[in-house]
């Protein structure tokens, strides 16, 4: 699929070159070789470990919330503790899992591989970003362990600046630092995508994942500094009484909300756009077809990045912003739904006349389509001002953004992890368990959050610890908690079988899925320098119809034959070829 | 347990809101179905190895792209127009609206009516009349939220905000704080009592008391009925098999089964109610239940006041239980929805129940707050 | 990174392994730095937005209380920073000509200006505000004359913004000094990364000009408010 240098012309195209160089996993086994690495792939693994840890922390907190809400008057927590738990859940999940998960793990690992570069533009900056991220994480955990915060992840003033007696300062500093970490990553991605593409890799030959990561990076660069300075001003107000947001000090609390949502609404797209990219890749690979409407998907990412900055006011329809402001924000919010709809339709259309293979990553992708469609459409209820007045800040909103962020981002993340797992570690995972996990997550998720739409419509406010005065809410909360246990099972499974696969999984070939893309051209796991020599790209993106004879044979003719590398057998097993 | 799936519709906005809501729900269902069916159909038809025709696959198709961009766009804009129209309606209170003032503070709602009547954590309003709330917070952000009315607006320190509604259905509805405001955020709420205008006027005239002031005799009569003292054949207008008549009992000499006697006074009557077995009137069995610990001293005083009137006048017309009779009828009485009062004890032993004078949620917060200090 | 060296016909001094050639490296550096500066613009942008909002709301009070700030010291500091920008430009110019000694001199002059700026700010300007009780806090505005007739609450807001914005600017100056010192040291050691290519020097220059530019906005917004 791409011309290799003459020196390697003898090797069949697409054939992994196992004997050239050492895999990045083998290039040093000391802890130091990991902690001081400049290799984007190793940094991605560092991020994978750390974000997974934060996900576990956030999930345990979520479990506590769900347990507490099974009874209208609580189960084991006090008011203050409950408030700290849901705040910590939001802060950990958003700042330390959802925002970094896909860009910092999959983006770090894949962008240089996908564009044919040896590394990101700034390897040391990349490593620094991980250290800053870890410093932020440690600071946040320290803050949460030494008193916690009870402000919610939104840190609304004046509660956060003058009223709360908790560790707001420390946790805000942590969020501030985490923001810097994502700015570092974003600057790195922008420079890399602009200047480090391999010869022949034009903008419209970029895989859609790269487009999505690029759009995300632009949003991070534009949005994150705003939240950073806003949170810094909250700290100044809290510590030095430099009043900017508190009415008692002459300030305006609604200004905080404007600045906060100016970042935090785009942050939703920062979380979901990379997932869109992953889903595009999965659809191409598992239908063996060029993604339908490539240009429309690419431009819709840019449209979302642009429009995403103009809709923050829809969080504030009832917060005393002017009515006319609300009208404009509402209209743009409806408009931003269109590029998302375009994406969903294009993905669906990609399956038309494809060769659909129901393997684990694709199950996640289909789950994503279902959940994101519901999540996106329920967003319209909140973009429409008339209905938002009733629904805002109820469990309807909670359900909506979980559909988008869990159903969107986490499904995309897990789908991506399963798809590129053989590339990252050179091992296959057991297909049966993978499918079970995907189905459990999908079912568990719907049972968890569908009832929250209903209870939200009934008027249950979010962030409520007790609802003994409204026991009609209880049945839905119990259903939700029941679903959460299934969801937890679905999330826990991959931790076990993926870890198992690291040592015991069958060895993966360079291209176990028969997928198109530069990252599948190099060995699994890739060598430190990614490619033996800089690839030259001559074919179009997702060009499955013109894959060379070798790939054709491997991917279409032998596909139905059990025992083919990376191809599903009737038992749902993936059998990979033994290393040479 | 109540298995409803939607909040009650109780204001001028509720119907419109729900219409819009269900329209959007239909839109959601249709699009989810389209995508879902397409995904399942394609997945089945084009599964790997199937014999489906895959000739000349399409990769870009401008008319198709435009179709599925423009149709959602048009539908979106239509929903936007209706949503905005409704919002503008919600943000434009009529000029003749009844003004009520709301102050939010951690973790209570203070409400003041124009004639000076104040209430905490409850809001009494007349049905059929536009009500405009002018709201401000004393400390942090709060949000005034009445799900049954589909209205919500933030209560911000340092600036007045407004919202309005016209209640359409008498009843008791939830009032919530829906902007996180600290420790007892979830308990910063109470009930909205929508009442018939006449009853609202009467309530205002009573100075915001839930029940009209009763004289001690009236209160005693109420208790007399409640405890069933005159029921059946216990203490009727004349002696019966089961009990003596109490008509004109004060000052009379009572003879007992043990042969002693006493002149009936307050102390005697009190003792006879609390420990009737001490002095059983001659000619009767010891059948009366003891009311020790069953009745408050205040109530006892009222009861005695009523007993003294027995036989002097034709039996007083006794007001009925709240909620059963004329002056206190209507849904606004303090019997909050049946699930509300008992829930606290049922769910969490040791948690103080809603106090009798104020069944609202926040009242409890106040008590707790007070006890901590 | 031995695995990749055979990719290049020869190893270029000062070229990082991930780049093909010096041109790509320089261009990438520039894209990176400009992206970062865009980020910085948004960082200060949020504060400028808050400033505009409150100034629009409290124009009269802001005008009254701004007279407390010394236009003289502000002006001198503006001049100092403009000079530092000039020396920085000259530094980049000499870097293009690969005149290491002159580059070091110019960077040294820039650092000196930066220290001068901070010295004036932290000895003549900020401490005076504490003496006049103009630091936001419980005692703010207790000396009536210092307010110049402004209402205390808006005046406190003005000084909150003043300390926040000039404070974050000063922080950027300090970071700039560290970066300039590091760069000057690399020139002294004749590190190939800077001597073979002027772009790293230019990057630090870009940052420094940005910091100056922020001050060019801060000075009129705080010191020169028209009635």
For residue A12, give how far its alpha carbon lies from the nearest alpha carbon of chain C (Å).
20
**Long-range CB contacts (< 8 A, 24+ apart) of A170-173?**
A170/A139, A170/A140, A170/A142, A170/A143, A170/A146, A171/A91, A171/A139, A171/A140, A171/A143, A171/A144, A172/A231, A172/A232, A172/A234, A172/A235, A173/A139, A173/A235
The alpha carbons of chain A give a radius of gyration, in whole angstroms, of 24
Put simply, the answer to whether C28 touches A194 (Cβ < 8 Å) is yes
Question: Looking at the complex, does the CB of residue A342 fall below 8 Å from at least one CB of chain B?
Answer: yes
- Looking at residue A576, its pLDDT comes to 43
**Phi, psi of A543, deg, nearest 5:** -85, 70
Q: Count of A–C CB contacts within 8 Å?
A: 133
Put simply, the answer to whether A73 touches B351 (Cβ < 8 Å) is yes
Question: Looking at the complex, does the CB of residue A546 fall below 8 Å from at least one CB of chain B?
Answer: no
Average pLDDT value for residue range B205-210: 81
Q: Count of A–B CB contacts within 8 Å?
A: 306
Q: Do chains A and C touch (3 or more CB pairs under 8 A)?
A: yes
Tell me which residue in A123, A186, A252 faces C18 most closely, judged by beta carbons: A123
User: In this predicted structure, which of A5-14, A348-357, A496-505, C32-41 has the lowest mean pLDDT?
Assistant: A5-14
- Looking at residue B363, its pLDDT comes to 38
Question: Looking at the complex, does the CB of residue A550 fall below 8 Å from at least one CB of chain B?
Answer: no
| Dihedral (Cα; A261, A265, A266, A269), 10-degree rounding | 160
For residue B366, give how far its alpha carbon lies from the nearest alpha carbon of chain A (Å).
15
Put simply, the answer to whether B152 touches A390 (Cβ < 8 Å) is yes
Put simply, the answer to whether C32 touches A233 (Cβ < 8 Å) is no
A568 pLDDT exceeds 60?
no
Distance of alpha carbon C163 from its chain centroid, rounded?
A: 15
User: In this predicted structure, which of A444-453, A563-572, B13-22, C150-159 has the lowest mean pLDDT?
Assistant: A563-572
Query: pLDDT digits over A81-91, tens only?
Result: 999 999 999 99
Residues in Cβ contact with A504 at an 8 Å cutoff, skipping those fewer than 6 apart: none
Average pLDDT value for residue range B359-363: 39
B361 pLDDT exceeds 70?
no
The pLDDT-based confidence of A298 (bands split at 50, 70, 90) is confident
List the single residue in C with minimal CA-CA distance to A233: C164
Question: Looking at the complex, does the CB of residue B317 fall below 8 Å from at least one CB of chain A?
Answer: no
| Cβ neighbours of B31 in A, within 8 Å | 341, 373, 377
Residue of A124, A187, A255, A309 to mutate, interface with C, max C Cβ within 10 Å: A187
| Cβ neighbours of C35 in A, within 8 Å | 186-187, 190-191, 221
B226 pLDDT exceeds 70?
yes
Put simply, the answer to whether B60 touches A295 (Cβ < 8 Å) is yes
| Cβ neighbours of A312 in C, within 8 Å | none
Put simply, the answer to whether C1 touches A22 (Cβ < 8 Å) is no
Given a contact cutoff of 8 angstroms between Cβ atoms, the answer to whether A527 and A24 are in contact is yes
In this predicted complex, what is the ipTM? 0.89
Q: Which contiguous run of DSSP H or E holds residue A536?
A: strand A536-537
Given a contact cutoff of 8 angstroms between Cβ atoms, the answer to whether A40 and A119 are in contact is yes
Highest mean predicted confidence (pLDDT) among A62-66, A557-561, B218-222:
A62-66
Put simply, the answer to whether A250 touches C157 (Cβ < 8 Å) is yes
A15 pLDDT exceeds 80?
no
**DSSP string for residues in B144-193:** EEEGGGTEEEEE-BTS-EEEEEEB-S-EEEEEEE-S--STTGGG-EEEEE
Put simply, the answer to whether C39 touches A241 (Cβ < 8 Å) is no
Query: pLDDT digits over C73-121, tens only?
Result: 999 999 999 999 999 999 999 999 988 899 999 999 999 999 999 999 9
Question: Looking at the complex, does the CB of residue A327 fall below 8 Å from at least one CB of chain B?
Answer: yes
Query: pLDDT digits over A93-148, tens only?
Result: 999 999 999 999 999 999 999 999 999 999 999 999 999 999 999 999 999 989 88
- Looking at residue A27, its pLDDT comes to 85
Tokens of B54: 């895959």
For residue C95, give how far its alpha carbon lies from the nearest alpha carbon of chain A (Å).
22
Given a contact cutoff of 8 angstroms between Cβ atoms, the answer to whether B338 and B259 are in contact is no
Q: Do chains B and C touch (3 or more CB pairs under 8 A)?
A: no
Average pLDDT value for residue range A74-79: 88
Residues in Cβ contact with B255 at an 8 Å cutoff, skipping those fewer than 6 apart: B261, B281, B282
Residues in Cβ contact with B11 at an 8 Å cutoff, skipping those fewer than 6 apart: B146, B148, B149, B150, B151, B165, B166, B167, B168
What's this model's pTM, rounded to 2 decimal places? 0.82
Mean pLDDT of chain A: 87
Tokens of C1: 């990174």
Put simply, the answer to whether A117 touches C168 (Cβ < 8 Å) is no
- Looking at residue B331, its pLDDT comes to 40
For strands A567-568 and A574-575, give the pairing. Answer: antiparallel
Question: Looking at the complex, does the CB of residue C10 fall below 8 Å from at least one CB of chain A?
Answer: no
Peptide bond into A158 cis (omega under 30): yes
| Cβ neighbours of B339 in A, within 8 Å | 470-472
Query: pLDDT digits over B29-78, tens only?
Result: 999 999 999 999 999 999 888 888 887 778 888 999 999 999 999 999 99
H helices of C132-151, in order, are none
CA distance B277 to B265: 17
Question: Looking at the complex, does the CB of residue B22 fall below 8 Å from at least one CB of chain A?
Answer: no
| Cβ neighbours of B15 in A, within 8 Å | none
pLDDT over 70 percentage in chain B:
82
| Cβ neighbours of C36 in A, within 8 Å | 183, 187, 221
Query: pLDDT digits over B248-263, tens only?
Result: 888 888 888 888 888 8
- Looking at residue A580, its pLDDT comes to 35
Average pLDDT value for residue range A157-163: 89
User: In this predicted structure, which of A185-189, A567-571, B283-287, C172-176 has the lowest mean pLDDT?
Assistant: A567-571
User: In this predicted structure, which of A70-74, B45-49, B165-169, B211-215 has the lowest mean pLDDT?
Assistant: B211-215
Put simply, the answer to whether B60 touches A292 (Cβ < 8 Å) is yes
Residue with tokens 């239940």: B289
| Cβ neighbours of A191 in C, within 8 Å | 28-29, 31-32, 35
B14 pLDDT exceeds 50?
yes
Cβ-in-10-Å burial (0-12, 13-18, 19+) of B95 comes to exposed
- Looking at residue B221, its pLDDT comes to 84
Question: Looking at the complex, does the CB of residue B352 fall below 8 Å from at least one CB of chain A?
Answer: no
Question: Looking at the complex, does the CB of residue A386 fall below 8 Å from at least one CB of chain B?
Answer: yes
- Looking at residue A554, its pLDDT comes to 53
CA distance C224 to C227: 9
Given a contact cutoff of 8 angstroms between Cβ atoms, the answer to whether A286 and A559 are in contact is no
Put simply, the answer to whether A230 touches C46 (Cβ < 8 Å) is yes
For residue A392, give how far its alpha carbon lies from the nearest alpha carbon of chain B (Å).
8
- Looking at residue B233, its pLDDT comes to 67
pLDDT over 90 percentage in chain C:
58
Put simply, the answer to whether A191 touches C32 (Cβ < 8 Å) is yes
For residue A92, CA distances in Å to A9, A85, A235 come to 49, 10, 19
Tell me which residue in A195, A228, A259 faces C31 most closely, judged by beta carbons: A195
| Cβ neighbours of B82 in A, within 8 Å | 384, 386
CA distance B227 to B289: 11
Given a contact cutoff of 8 angstroms between Cβ atoms, the answer to whether C221 and C74 are in contact is no
Q: Please, which residues 58-117 of chain C have a Cβ atom closer than 8 Å to chain A?
A: none
| Cβ neighbours of A471 in B, within 8 Å | 1-2, 339, 343, 347
CA distance B361 to B343: 12
Q: Which residue from A224, A209, A371 is spatially nearest to A297, judged by alpha carbons?
A: A209
Residue with tokens 């993966």: A508
Put simply, the answer to whether A463 touches B180 (Cβ < 8 Å) is yes
Question: Looking at the complex, does the CB of residue C39 fall below 8 Å from at least one CB of chain A?
Answer: yes
Q: Please, which residues 453-482 of chain A have a Cβ atom closer than 8 Å to chain B?
A: 454, 457-459, 461-472, 474-475
Residue of B28, B175, B342 to mutate, interface with A, max A Cβ within 10 Å: B28
- Looking at residue A10, its pLDDT comes to 38
Query: pLDDT digits over A383-407, tens only?
Result: 999 999 999 999 999 999 999 998 9
Tell me which residue in A154, A163, A252 faces B140 most closely, judged by beta carbons: A163
Give the chains touching A; criterion: ≥3 Cβ pairs < 8 Å: B, C
Query: pLDDT digits over A214-245, tens only?
Result: 999 999 999 999 999 999 999 999 998 888 89
| Cβ neighbours of A226 in C, within 8 Å | 42-43, 45-46
CA distance A173 to A259: 17
For residue B187, give how far its alpha carbon lies from the nearest alpha carbon of chain A (Å).
7
Given a contact cutoff of 8 angstroms between Cβ atoms, the answer to whether B307 and B315 are in contact is no
Tokens of A222: 């534009």
- Looking at residue A40, its pLDDT comes to 94
- Looking at residue B271, its pLDDT comes to 87
User: In this predicted structure, which of A285-289, A346-350, B55-59, C103-107 has the lowest mean pLDDT?
Assistant: B55-59
Put simply, the answer to whether A351 touches B174 (Cβ < 8 Å) is no
């Amino acid at each position: 699929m791409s011309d290799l240098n003459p020196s390697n012309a003898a090797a069949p195209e697409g054939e992994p070159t196992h004997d050239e160089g050492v895999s990045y996993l083998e290039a040093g086994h000391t802890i130091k070789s990991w902690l001081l690495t400049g290799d984007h792939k190793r940094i991605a693994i560092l991020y994978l470990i750390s974000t997974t840890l934060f996900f576990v922390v956030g999930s345990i907190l979520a479990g506590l919330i769900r347990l507490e809400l099974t009874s209208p008057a609580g189960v084991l927590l006090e008011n203050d503790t409950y408030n700290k738990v849901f705040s910590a859940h939001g802060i950990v999940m958003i700042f330390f899992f959802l925002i970094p998960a896909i860009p910092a793990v999959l983006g770090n690992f894949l962008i240089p591989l996908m564009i044919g570069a040896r590394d990101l533009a700034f390897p040391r900056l990349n490593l620094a970003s991980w250290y800053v991220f870890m410093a932020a994480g440690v600071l946040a955990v320290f803050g949460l362990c030494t008193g916690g915060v009870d402000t919610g992840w939104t840190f609304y003033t004046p509660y956060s600046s003058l009223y709360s007696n908790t560790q707001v300062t420390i946790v805000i500093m942590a969020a501030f630092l985490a923001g810097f970490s994502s700015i570092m990553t974003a600057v790195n991605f922008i420079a890399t995508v602009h200047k480090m593409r391999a010869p022949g890799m034009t903008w419209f030959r970029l895989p859609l994942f790269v487009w999505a990561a690029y759009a995300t990076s632009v949003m991070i660069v534009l949005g994150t500094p705003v939240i950073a300075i806003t949170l810094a001003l909250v700290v100044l107000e809290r510590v030095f009484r430099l009043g900017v947001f508190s009415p008692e000090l002459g300030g305006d609390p609604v200004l905080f909300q404007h600045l906060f949502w100016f970042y935090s609404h785009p942050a939703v797209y920062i979380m979901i756009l990379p997932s869109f990219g992953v889903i595009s890749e999965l659809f191409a690979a598992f239908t063996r077809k060029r993604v339908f409407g490539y240009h429309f998907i690419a431009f819709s990412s840019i449209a979302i990045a642009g429009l995403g900055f103009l809709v923050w006011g829809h969080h504030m329809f009832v917060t005393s912003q002017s009515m006319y402001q609300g009208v404009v924000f509402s209209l743009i919010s409806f408009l931003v739904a269109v590029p998302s709809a375009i994406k969903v339709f294009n993905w669906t259309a990609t399956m038309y006349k494809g060769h659909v293979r129901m393997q684990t990553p694709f199950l996640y992708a289909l789950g994503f389509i279902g959940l994101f469609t519901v999540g996106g459409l329920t967003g319209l209820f909140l973009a429409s001002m008339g209905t938002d007045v009733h629904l805002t800040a109820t469990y309807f909103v909670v359900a909506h953004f979980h559909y988008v962020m869990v159903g969107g981002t986490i499904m995309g993340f897990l789908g991506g992890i399963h798809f590129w797992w053989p590339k990252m570690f050179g091992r296959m995972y057991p297909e049966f368990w993978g499918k079970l996990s995907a189905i459990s997550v999908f079912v568990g998720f719907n049972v968890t959050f569908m009832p929250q739409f209903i209870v939200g419509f009934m008027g249950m406010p979010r962030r409520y610890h007790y609802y003994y005065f409204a026991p009609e809410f209880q049945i839905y909360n119990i259903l939700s908690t029941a679903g959460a246990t299934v969801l937890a099972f679905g999330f826990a499974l991959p931790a076990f079988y993926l870890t198992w696969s690291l040592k015991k999984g069958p060895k993966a070939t360079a291209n176990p899925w028969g997928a198109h893309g530069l990252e599948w051209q190099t060995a699994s796991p890739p060598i430190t320098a990614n490619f033996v020599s800089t690839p030259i790209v001559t074919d179009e993106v997702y060009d499955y119809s013109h894959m060379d004879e070798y790939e054709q044979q491997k991917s279409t003719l032998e596909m139905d034959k059990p025992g083919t590398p990376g191809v599903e057998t009737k038992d749902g097993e993936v059998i990979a070829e033994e290393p040479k | 347990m109540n298995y409803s799936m939607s909040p009650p519709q109780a204001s001028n906005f509720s119907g419109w809101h729900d219409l819009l809501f269900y329209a959007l729900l239909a839109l959601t269902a249709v699009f989810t179905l389209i995508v879902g069916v397409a995904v399942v159909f394609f997945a089945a038809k084009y599964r790997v190895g199937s014999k489906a025709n895959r000739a000349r696959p399409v990769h870009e198709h401008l008319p198709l792209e435009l179709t599925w961009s423009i149709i959602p766009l048009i539908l979106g804009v239509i929903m936007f127009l209706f949503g905005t129209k409704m919002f503008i309606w919600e943000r434009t209170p009529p000029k003749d609206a009844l003004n009520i003032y709301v102050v939010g503070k951690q973790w209570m709602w203070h409400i003041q009516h124009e004639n000076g009547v104040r209430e905490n954590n409850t809001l009494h309003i007349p049905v059929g009349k536009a009500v405009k709330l002018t709201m401000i917070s004393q400390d942090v952000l709060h949000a005034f939220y009445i799900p049954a009315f589909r209205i919500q607006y933030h209560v911000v320190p340092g600036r007045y905000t407004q919202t309005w509604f016209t209640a359409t259905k008498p009843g008791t509805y939830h009032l919530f704080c829906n902007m996180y405001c600290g420790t007892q955020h979830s308990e910063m709420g109470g009930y909205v009592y929508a009442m018939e205008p006449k009853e609202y006027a009467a309530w205002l005239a009573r100075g915001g008391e839930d029940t009209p002031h009763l004289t001690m005799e009236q209160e005693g009569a109420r208790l007399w009925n409640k405890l069933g003292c005159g029921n059946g054949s216990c203490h009727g207008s004349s002696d019966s098999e089961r009990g003596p008549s109490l008509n004109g009992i004060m000052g009379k000499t009572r003879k007992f089964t043990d042969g002693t006697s006493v002149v009936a006074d307050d102390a005697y009557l009190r003792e006879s109610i609390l420990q009737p077995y001490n002095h059983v009137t001659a000619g009767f069995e010891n059948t009366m239940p003891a009311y020790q610990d069953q009745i408050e001293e205040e109530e006892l005083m009222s009861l005695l006041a009523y007993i003294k009137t027995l036989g002097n006048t034709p039996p007083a017309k006794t007001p009925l239980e709240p909620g059963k009779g004329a002056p206190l009828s209507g849904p606004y009485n303090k019997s909050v929805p049946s699930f509300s009062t008992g829930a606290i004890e049922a769910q969490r032993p040791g948690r103080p129940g809603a106090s009798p004078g104020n069944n609202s949620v926040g009242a409890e917060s106040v008590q707790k707050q007070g006890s901590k200090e | 990174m031995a695995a990749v060296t055979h990719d290049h016909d020869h190893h270029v001094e000062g070229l990082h392994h991930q780049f093909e050639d010096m041109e790509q490296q320089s261009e990438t550096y520039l894209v990176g730095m400009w992206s970062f500066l865009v980020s910085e613009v948004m960082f200060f942008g949020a504060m400028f937005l808050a400033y505009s909002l409150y100034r629009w709301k409290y124009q009269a009070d802001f005008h009254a209380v701004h007279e407390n700030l010394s236009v003289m010291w502000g002006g001198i500091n503006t001049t100092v920073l403009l000079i530092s920008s000039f020396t920085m430009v000259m530094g980049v110019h000499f870097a293009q000509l690969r005149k290491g000694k002159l580059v070091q001199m110019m960077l040294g002059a820039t650092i000196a200006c930066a220290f001068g700026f901070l010295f004036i700010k932290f000895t003549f300007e900020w401490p005076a505000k504490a003496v006049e009780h103009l630091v936001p806090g419980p005692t703010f505005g207790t000396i009536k004359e210092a307010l110049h007739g402004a209402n205390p609450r808006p005046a406190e807001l003005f000084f909150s913004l003043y300390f926040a914005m000039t404070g974050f600017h000063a922080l950027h100056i300090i970071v700039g000094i560290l970066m300039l010192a590091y760069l000057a040291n690399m020139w002294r050691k004749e590190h190939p990364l800077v001597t073979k290519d002027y772009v790293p020097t230019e990057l630090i220059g870009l940052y420094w000009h940005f910091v100056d530019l922020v001050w060019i906005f801060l000075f009129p917004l705080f010191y020169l408010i028209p009635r």
